Amino acid sequence: DRIAREQDREFAEFRKRLKDTEQFKLDDGAFDDATYAAIYKLVQDGHLGAMGGPISTGKEANVYEALDGEGGDVATKVYRINASNFKQMRDYLEGDPRFEGLRGDKKAVVLSWTRKEFSNLQRAKTAGVRVPEPLAVQRNVLVMELIGREGDAASKLSDVTVENPQMAYEVVREYVRRLYDAGLVHGDLSEYNVVVYEGELVVIDVGQAVTVHHPSSADLLERDCRNVANFFARQGADADPDDLLTYVREH
């Protein structure tokens, strides 16, 4: 009918406008048609106003600055439907009671992965871990709080001089413990997935975080502790992987 045709036309125009935006021209397939539709839905629902420039382009996802419906800053993470490593992604979903009976195909895995990151952010936040606040999820697109400001996104811990390594270590140690208490293991924790803005440490990239039910959760926790302790020890903190593991498990 007429309204449906009108809506189709509006969507086509929206997609064209987004496609013509400079920052998307060079993009190689993070944005299939269904991704444009997901962004459009987020706009209609008031979660997004406009897409901004890329903060990061990665193997699995791109992260963009964006504005929400009211003009506030947000970050938008767009997972590639054509993720090259979806078999690995599927392994991370295994044993997770939240994703039982998942279809094994690429699209289903990437969509579950996106929802998993959203729900992991919620769970981490509830557990008292400083993460970007999750705002909305639609298909392979996740909208969250932007850490930093427009044009001045937070830096990774790996890219800054840590002012007080001992204190920073103790903060991250507490985050790992709280996550574990809430039944989650980050699984890719290191100086590359902690950002810092105005002295505040924020854990990001929780898509691969697994519940303690996952067959590899113990190994992943051990690796997280090793990465974190070794990094802070190099910065001069009194940090040791085994002590950290014990602290996380037994406090």
In terms of CB distance, is 153 or 221 closer to ligand ADP?
A: 153
Contact call for residue 61 and ligand ADP (CB under 6 A): yes
Contact call for residue 52 and ligand ADP (CB under 6 A): no
Token representation of residue 122 = 């919620």
In terms of CB distance, is 158 or 246 closer to ligand ADP?
A: 158
The verdict on whether 96 is a catalytic residue reads no
Of 196-215, which residues contact Mn ion (CB under 5 A)? 205
Residue 215 CA to residue 222 CA, distance in Å, equals 13
Chosen residue from 56, 84, 88, 164 binding ligand ADP by CB under 6 A:
56
Q: Which SS3 state, helix, strand or coil, does residue 70 take? A: coil
In terms of CB distance, is 209 or 245 closer to Mn ion?
A: 209
Of all helices (H) and strands (E), which one includes residue 34? helix 33-44
Chosen residue from 68, 96, 191, 205 binding ligand ADP by CB under 6 A:
205
Site mask for ligand ADP (CB under 6 A), range 62-81, x = bound: -x-----------x-x----
Contact call for residue 191 and ligand ADP (CB under 6 A): no
Contacts with Mn ion by CB under 5 A: the residue count is 2
Binding range to ligand ADP, per CB under 6 A, among 58-66, 81-89, 228-236, 241-249: 58-66
The verdict on whether 205 is a catalytic residue reads yes
Contact call for residue 109 and ligand ADP (CB under 6 A): no
Binding range to ligand ADP, per CB under 6 A, among 8-16, 27-35, 42-50, 145-153: 145-153
Beta bridge partners of 148: 153
Taking phi over 0 as left and psi of -120 to 50 as alpha, with beta for the rest, 219 belongs to alpha
For the CA atoms of 53, 146, 68, 18, the dihedral, rounded to the nearest 10 degrees, stands at 20
The entry of ligand ADP, Mn ion, none near residue 74 (CB within 5 to 8 angstroms by kind) is none
For the CA atoms of 12, 145, 117, 122, the dihedral, rounded to the nearest 10 degrees, stands at -130
Contact call for residue 76 and Mn ion (CB under 5 A): no
Residue carrying structure tokens 């991250």: 172
Contact call for residue 148 and ligand ADP (CB under 6 A): yes
Q: How many helices (H) and strands (E) does the chain have?
A: 8, 12
Catalytic residue among 68, 188, 224, 240: 188
Chosen residue from 78, 142, 204, 229 binding ligand ADP by CB under 6 A:
204
Residue carrying structure tokens 């574990």: 180
Check: CB of residue 206 under 8 Å from CB of residue 117. yes
Residue 251 CA to residue 85 CA, distance in Å, equals 35
Q: Which SS3 state, helix, strand or coil, does residue 152 take? A: strand
Token representation of residue 236 = 């001069």
Q: Give me the active site residues, please.
A: 188, 205
Give the residues lining the site for Mn ion (CB under 5 A): 193, 205
